[in-house]
Chains A and B, each alone.
Chain A
Amino acid sequence: MSGPDLLVLHALRCVGTAGLERVAATTGLSESDVESELIDLAAAGLVTRFAEFGVWSLTETGRTADAERITAELESAGARPAVTEAFDGFLVLNPELLDLCTAWQLRSVDGVMIANDHSDSSYDARVLDRFADFHGRATVVCAQLSSALPRFGRYRIRLAEALGRAGSGELEHVADSTASYHAVWAELHEDLLVSLGIPR
C-alpha cells in the first residue's frame, strides 16, 4: 500500500496545484491528514504553498522524488505489465470520453454546432445514458488498475460519484467542475503517464 505521504505527493503531481479539499477528494484522506502530510512534505522541500491562494504544488525536487517513488512502487509490486495493459485499454476509451464531453457541451442543430444550454432534458438524458454505458467499460480498466496497485482504486469511486451526481441534476459534474467526470478522467490519464514514465 502506498503510504499517505506518497498519496498526497502523487495527488499533487496528477492534479497540478490544489487546495486541501481537492487533495482530500483525490486521495480519500481527511483534510487534516492531508494538511499534516503537506506540512511534512514542505519541510522536506518537496511541496510549496501559495499562501495568497491557499493552494499547494510540487517543487522540482518534489516532482523528481514523486517520479522515483512511483516507479519504485510500480516495480516492487511487479505491476508494470498489468498497468501497461490497462493503459492500452485507457487509450482506446479516451477518444470516446472526449467525444462524450464534446456532445455534452455542443450539439449540432441544422448542421450548426451550438452550445448545449441543457434546456432539452431528453438530449442530456441521452448523453448521460451513453456516459453510463461508457462507465461500464471504464470500470473494467479501473478494476484492472486497482488490482495491480490499490492506490488506483480511488478513480473508480470518484468517476462513479461524478456520474451519480450528474445524474441527479448536478450537471457541472460532467465536464465543468474539478470533481467532474472529465477532470477525474484527465487526472487518471496524467497518473498513468507518470506511473509508466511516459512523457507527454
Chain B
Amino acid sequence: MRWIRQLNAETGDSAEVLGGKAHGLVVLHRLGLPVPAGFVVTTQACRAFLRDGRLPDGLDDELATAIAGLDVVSVRSGAAVSMPGMMDTILNLELTTTAAARSAVEAVFSSWNTPRARTYRELHDIPHELGTAAIVQRMVFGNRDDRSGTGVAFSRDPNTGANVPYGEVLFGHQGDDVVSGSSSTLPLRELADREPTVWAGLLDALSRAEAHYRDACYVEFTFEAGELWLLQVRPGRFVGAAAVRLATDLADERVIDRHEALLRISPQHLRHVRTPRIAATSEVLARGLGACPGVATGRVATTADAAVRLAVDGPVVLVRPETSPHDMRGLAAATGIVTARGGPASHAAVVARAMGKPAVVGVSGLVVAGSSASIGGRTFDENTLLTIDGTGGEVVLGSPRVVTNAADAHLHRLLRWADDVSGDRSERDEAQRLSAAHAVLRR
C-alpha cells in the first residue's frame, strides 16, 4: 500500500512517515507486547491532503482493504514531533462504511491546521509542512466491566528518578477520563491486588520498553475484562533531580556508560535540582500537576476573601475548584495555590507563574464546598495546615520535611564523572563542571 501501513512488527518506516505515536506502537509489536489491531495513514498522505485540499487518489481503496475486520475504532493523531492535545481524536467510531473512516481521517488531518496548532508550531519551531499521521485502531474498552480500566505508567518515578513503577489507574473508565481529570484515579500499585495478571503484564512491558529505549519509559494502557493492551509508549523525559538520578542509576546498572549518562543531563537540568521539594517520605494526600515549582506551606483558604483575611495571621494556601479574575486578591494574598481543575496552561497556572508562587493544578477528586474541601474522602476545613509542591504536584497535610538536596548523592557522583572526563578539578559551579565534560565528549 502507498498511503497506509499496518501496525505490526514488520513495518519498517521511520517516525517521520508513521508519526511518533505509531512508531512507538510498532516498537511495542516488535517487543512482543499486546497492541490493539490497526493501521496508520501516513504523514505523506496528510501532506498530500494539506497540499491538494483532498485525500490522495487511491487512499479510498486502501482504506476499504485496511478496515476489513475492524468494527469499532479510535482514530488518533500522531505527528513526528509531540504536539500534546493540539489535534483531534475520535473515539468509539463505528466503521460501517469506508466513508466513515475517510471522514475521520480527514477530520484528524484538518486538525493539523487549526490556528491553535499553527501557533503552537510557530512557538516551538516545528515546520508547518510536517503533517500528522492518523492511527486507526480497534477500540479497547476500559469501561467494559469491573475488570476493565485504564491508566498511565512510568517505569520509574518521574518525581525522584527512583527505580519503582509510578502512575495512575482508573477502574471502569476509558483513557480520556484519566487525561481530562474528570474522575479520581488511584495509585498504579492498586493494580497489583485487583488485577495481578494485568500488573504482571504491565511490569513486563515497562521492563522490555526500558531495555529497548535504554531509558525510563512512559506508557498508556487499557485493560479490558482482565486483558492488558498498550496504547502508547515513549521515553520518560525526566527533568531536574529525577533526570540526574535516572542517568546515574542507568550507568550503575550498565544500561548506559558514564559518558552517555553525562550527555543525557543538560546544564538546564541542574537549574532545577536545587528547587525545594517535599521529602519523599511524606504521606501524600493528593497529587495534581505541578504548575509553578517550589514548596508552600500555609493555612487553607477556600475563597479569595478568606485568603485575604487569613493572610493577616500567616501564610495561606488558596484551594479553589479553578480560578477566575475574582480570585486575584486571594491569589495575591496566598503563598501557594491548589486547583481541582485545569492544566499547566490554566488561568491559575498562568497567574501563579506571573506571581512566582508554587502551584498545583488539576488535582482530580478535589472538591471545594463552602469553607471546607475534601480529597478522596478526607475532608479538611479552612485553617488546616497544608503543604504543596509545585514541581511534583504533591499535596500534603501539615508541614512535612522539605529538602533542597534530594539528588545530592547522585549529583555528586555525576559531577565527579564529569571532572574525570574534563580533567579539571578546580572549584566551579555545577553547570560549568558538566559543560566542561560535554565539551570534551562532543569534541
Contacts and interface: CB of A to CB of B under 8 A. Distances in A.
B354 to A, nearest CB: 4
Contacts of A126: 122-123
A77 interface: no
B272 interface: yes
Contacts of B237: 111
B324 interface: yes
A54 interface: no
Contact of A105 (B271, B272, B327, B353): B353
Interface string A86-115: 000000100110111111011011111111
Interface in B325-345: 325-329, 344-345
A183 interface: yes
Contacts of B347: 98, 186
A137 B115 contact: yes
Nearest to B235: A111
A16 B326 contact: yes
B122 A16 contact: no
B266 A130 contact: no
Contacts of A120: none
B268 interface: yes
B354 A190 contact: no
A106 B124 CA distance: 12
B212 interface: no
B268 A16 contact: no
B266 A112 contact: yes
B327 to A, nearest CB: 7
Contact of B350 (A101, A108, A134, A200): A101
A113 B325 CA distance: 26
Contacts of A175: 350, 354
Contacts of A99: 116, 119-120, 123, 345
A83 interface: no
Contacts of A200: 321-322, 324
Given A110-B266, A111-B237, A190 B326 contact: yes
A158 interface: no
Contacts of B271: 112, 114
Interface in B383-437: none
A176 interface: yes
A102 B239 contact: no
Of B240, B266, B324, most buried by chain A (CB within 10 Å of CB) is: B324
B246 to A, nearest CB: 13
Given A102-B345, A176-B354, A183-B325, A130 B122 contact: yes
7 contacts: A92-B116, A105-B354, A109-B268, A111-B239, A112-B272, A189-B324, A200-B324
Interface of A: 14-17, 55, 92, 95-96, 98-103, 105-106, 108-115, 126-127, 129-130, 133-134, 137, 175-176, 178, 182-183, 186-187, 189-190, 200
Q: What are the nearest 5 A-B pairs in CB distance?
A: A110-B266, A16-B326, A96-B116, A98-B345, A112-B268
Given A17-B304, A101-B350, 8 more contacts: A15-B325, A17-B329, A92-B116, A102-B345, A103-B123, A112-B269, A115-B353, A130-B123
